[in-house]
């Protein structure tokens, strides 16, 4: 039986001109994760990263802290969905700076992603939700196949792909994905195993390596 550990990237640069860069806290979270996984005896036979900078930076900090020597390969199938495009297709609340109001932003984000997942507006998106879901499922299948002989794959990705991998394993739908995507913790770990019954979900969003003060969601 093999296992796939999906790691969400560390905290990115929320509110900055370029979000796709880890913050100082994000680098610290990633190093803490790597050390914690190594302390638990995790020895990956395969290391995979999405193609985004925050994925690569999380992988670099975690791998260094863990002392792993396996090569990190890149699989674009683990990239996050285009959240900026998804947001742009749904009108933002008027009269408020949404980037300075987390509660308002979260409502806007929830409404925009609900519109994306419902399938009624697919022509508005470069990557409709169904295409995103198929992309993630294919990436998960590749990761599982790479460790089919009983090894461990550690994959550095984003909340959206992590959420869909868990949702797919539970045979859920867009509504379940929406709920999981809202609560994904930076450097949280979702664990799946691959055995005679196929890919099975064991845990979602595990983040006991982080102190309460270090938990972030962006």
- pLDDT of 163-174, one tens digit each? 999 999 999 999
Q: What is the pLDDT of residues 189-203, one digit of tens each?
A: 999 999 888 999 999
CA 10 centroid distance within chain: 10
Select from 5, 132, 16 the least CA-distant residue to 76. 132
Find out whether 121 and 86 touch, Cβ atoms under 8 Å. no
How large is the average pLDDT for residues 50-67? 98
DSSP secondary structure, 59-124, as one string: HHHHHHHHT--SPEEE-GGGPPP-HHHHHHTSPPPTTS-GGG-HHHHHHHHHHHHHHHHTSTTGGG
> Is residue 13 scored above 90 in pLDDT?
no
Q: With bands split at pLDDT 50, 70 and 90, how would you rate the model's confidence at 42?
A: very high
The per-residue pLDDT for 19 is 82
pLDDT tens figures, 123-140: 999 999 999 999 999 999
Measured between alpha carbons, how far is 169 from 164 in angstroms, rounded to an integer? 8
The whole-angstrom separation of Cα 211 and Cα 207 is 9
Radius of gyration of the chain (CA): 17
Q: Are 68 and 43 in contact (CB under 8 A)?
A: yes
pLDDT band at 46 (very low <50, low <70, confident <90, very high): very high
Instruction: For the chain, report the end-to-end CA distance as a whole number of angstroms.
Output: 33
């Amino acid at each position: 039986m093999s296992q796939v550990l999906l790691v969400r990237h560390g905290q990115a640069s929320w509110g900055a001109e370029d979000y796709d860069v880890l913050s100082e806290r994000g680098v610290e979270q990633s190093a803490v994760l790597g050390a914690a996984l190594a302390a638990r005896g995790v020895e990956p036979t395969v290391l995979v990263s999405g193609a985004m900078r925050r994925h690569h930076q999380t992988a670099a900090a975690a791998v260094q802290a863990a002392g792993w020597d396996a090569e990190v390969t890149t699989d674009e199938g683990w990239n996050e969905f285009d959240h900026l495009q998804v947001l742009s297709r749904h009108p933002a609340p008027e009269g408020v700076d949404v980037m300075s109001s987390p509660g308002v932003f979260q409502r806007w984000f929830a409404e925009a992603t609900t519109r994306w997942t419902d399938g009624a507006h697919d022509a508005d998106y470069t990557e409709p939700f169904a295409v995103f879901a198929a992309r993630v499922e294919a990436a998960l299948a590749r990761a599982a196949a790479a460790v089919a002989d009983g090894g461990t794959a550690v994959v550095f990705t984003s909340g959206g792909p992590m959420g869909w991998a868990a949702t797919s394993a539970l045979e859920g739908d867009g509504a379940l994905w929406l709920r999981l995507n809202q609560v994904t913790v930076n450097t949280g770990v979702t664990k799946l195993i691959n055995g005679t019954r196929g890919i099975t979900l064991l845990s979602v969003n595990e983040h006991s390596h982080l102190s309460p003060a270090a938990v972030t969601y962006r």
